[in-house]
Amino acid sequence: MKIQQIDVWQKDLPIAGPAYKMALQTLTALDTTLVRITTDSGLQGWGEVCPLGPAYQPQHAAGARAAIGEIAPHLLGENPLLAEQVNQRMHQALCGSLYAKSAIDMACWDLAGKAYNARVCDLLGGAAREVIPSYYAIGLSSPEQAAEVAVKKQAEGFRRLQLKVGGRTLEEDIACVRKVAENLQPGTALAVDANRGLNVNDAIQLSAACQDIRFIFEQPCQTYEQCLHLRGKLHHPLWLDEVIEDINSLLRAVRDNAAEGFGMKQSRIGGISQMRTAREICAVAGLPMTCDDSWGGDLVAASCVHLGATVSASLFAGTWIAAPYIDEHYDQQHPVTLTQGALQLPQGAGLGVTPDSVRLGAPAMTFCL
Ligand SMILES: [Mg+2]
C-alpha cells in the first residue's frame, strides 16, 4: 500500500457562545488543519491538528500547514500502515514541528484501522473501557461564578473538574479554590490548573493556604525548573502539562521525580504514536495521565478518546475535548459528543469519524504522486 495523495484543509471552528478568554488572547474561532491521506488502494485516513490560537504555545495553525507542506512531498509512495517508518521519514524531512506531524500520524492510524478493520484503540492494545470519563475546565472567573459552574457541571455528570487559576491576585485564586471546594460532591476530583501562570512563591503559598483541600496542582509555573523548585514545598500532588513537550521531556520529568502525574496533549508530543510511548512510560513509572489535546474538532476528539480508552483505570485521569465549545461536527452521523460527563468510544474502523469532504470545500494544498 502506498500513499498516493495528501490533501490539506484549513477550517475555522467557530466557538459556541461567548468568546473564549485566556490570559493573552480572546478567541471566537479556532483555526484548524485537516489532513487526508489517500492510498493507491483507495483507502483514506484522516488527521487533524488545532493549536489553541497563536499565543498559548509555540505551535500555531499557519505553522502547522507550512510544516505539512514541507513534509508531505517526502511521504508520497510510503506505506502508511508502517507508522514508525512514516514518522522517521517526517523527522528526516523536517526537524521539530511535532504538532504538524501529529496530524499525519493520526491519519496513518486511522488508515491502518480501516485497512485491518479495527478501531484505533484496538490497534493500540485494546480498550480498557468503552465509556471514557471526561472533565470540565472552569475558566478564570469569580469565586461565585466558578462555584456555580462547578455545581452545574457535577449535576451534568462530571466527576472531575479543573479550575483555572493565575493571572490575578493570590487572594482571588485562594478564594476561588475554597468556594469551588465547598461545592464539591463526594467523589468529584479537583485539579487546580495555573497553565504556567503563577510564580514560585505564589504557588507555594496557594498550596499552603489550601492544604486542607484535596486537589492536584497542575502546571503552576512557567518553566520546568520553576516547577522542579516546588518539589517538597507543596501540600498537593504536582502535575506537569505545558512543559512536557516530547518524550524526552517526559523521561526527564520521570527521572527527576518532578511530578505525580501528567496532562498529556497528543499534538504537542507528536501524535498517537508518541502518546502510546508516553502511556507506557507513565504505566512503568506508576504515574497517572490525561489524554487530551489543546483544541480540535471531531478527529482530535476521537483520537483522544481512543487513546484514553487504552490507559489502565488506575492511571487514567480523563479526556478533555473541545466539543462543548464548538458549534459544528465534521461527521454528522458519528459526532464525538459528551453525555453526562463521559465520552463513548466511536464505533467503526479507524477513528470512527469521517469528515464530509464536500462540506469542507476545496483543499488548501494537495500533493500527489
Ligand atoms: Mg493543563
Q: Please tell me the CATH code under which domain 3-117+356-368 is placed.
A: 3.30.390.10
pLDDT of 121 reads 98
Give 129-181 pLDDT, tens digit per residue: 999 999 999 988 899 999 999 999 999 999 999 999 998 999 999 999 999 99
pLDDT at position 354, please?
A: 96
CB 94 within 8 A of CB 270: no
**Residues annotated catalytic, as ranges:** 164, 265
- pLDDT at residue 112 greater than cutoff 80: yes
Instruction: Give yes or no for residue 23 having a pLDDT over 70.
Output: no
- pLDDT reading at 21 higher than 80: no
For 88, list phi and psi in degrees, rounded to 5: -60, -45
Instruction: Evaluate the CA torsion angle 152, 142, 166, 24 in order and state its sign.
Output: positive
For residue 204, report the distance from its CA to the centre of ligand 1, in Å. Answer: 18
User: What is the domain partition of the chain in residue ranges?
Assistant: 3-117+356-368, 123-344
Residue pair 180/162 in contact (Cβ under 8 Å)? The answer is no
Are residues 124 and 307 in contact, defined by beta-carbon separation less than 8 angstroms?
Answer: yes
| pLDDT at residue 324 greater than cutoff 90 | no
DSSP string, 101-141: HHHHHHHHHHHHHHHHT-BHHHHTT--S-SEEEB-EEEPS-
Closest CA to 343 of 303, 314, 287, 312: 303
**Separation between Cα atoms, residue 226 and residue 221, nearest integer Å:** 6
Residue 24 has pLDDT above 80, yes or no: no
The string of DSSP codes covering 265-292 is EHHHHTSHHHHHHHHHHHHHHT--EEEE
Ligand 1 center to 154 CA (angstroms):
20
Query: Which three three-digit cell numbers place residue 48?
Result: 487533524
The Cα-based distances of 100 to 5, 111, 157 in angstroms read: 17, 18, 34
Separation CA 153–CA 318 (nearest Å): 15
Residue 306 has what pLDDT?
98
pLDDT at 237: 98
Query: Between β-strands 342-344 and 338-339, what pairing exists: parallel, antiparallel or unpaired?
Result: antiparallel
Q: What is the pLDDT of residue 169?
A: 96
Residue ranges in the chain assigned as alpha helix (H): 61-75, 83-93, 98-116, 120-123, 143-156, 170-182, 200-209, 224-229, 247-255, 266-269, 272-285, 298-309, 357-360
Longest dimension (CA), the chain: 62
Identify the pLDDT of residue 20: 80
Contact yes or no for 333/176 (Cβ under 8 A): no
pLDDT score of 55: 86
Q: Is the pLDDT of residue 26 over 70?
A: yes
The CA 218 to ligand 1 mean position distance, Å, reads 6
27 pLDDT above the threshold of 90: no
CA–CA separation, 100 and 48 (whole Å)? 9
361 Cα–ligand 1 center, Å:
34
Q: What is the 219 CA–ligand 1 centroid distance (Å)?
A: 6
Å from CA of 292 to ligand 1 middle: 9
pLDDT higher than threshold 90 for residue 124: yes
Q: Is the predicted pLDDT of residue 277 greater than 90, yes or no?
A: yes
User: Binning pLDDT at 50, 70 and 90, where does residue 17 land?
Assistant: confident
What is the CATH class of 123-344? alpha beta
Cβ-based neighbours of 20, under 8 Å, separated by 6 or more: 26, 27, 28, 139, 325
Query: How many angstroms separate the alpha carbon of residue 263 from the centre of ligand 1?
Result: 6
What is the pLDDT, as a whole number, of residue 32? 97
**Reported pTM:** 0.96
Strand order in the sheet with 29-39: 44-49, 29-39, 3-14, 365-368
At 291, is the pLDDT very low, low, confident or very high (cuts 50, 70, 90)?
A: very high
Strands 29-39, 3-14: pairing is antiparallel
Chain-centroid distance of CA 277 in Å reads 15
List, in order, residues 6 or more apart from 187 with CB less than 8 Å away. Answer: 159
Residue 201: pLDDT band (50, 70, 90) is: very high
17: left (phi over 0), alpha (psi -120 to 50) or beta: left
- CA–CA distance from 338 to each of 18, 322, 335 (Å)? 19, 10, 10
**Residue 94: pLDDT above 80?**
yes
Lowest pLDDT segment from 20-29, 233-242, 349-358: 20-29
| pLDDT cut 90: percent of the chain above it | 91
* pLDDT number for residue 234: 98
pLDDT at 56: 87
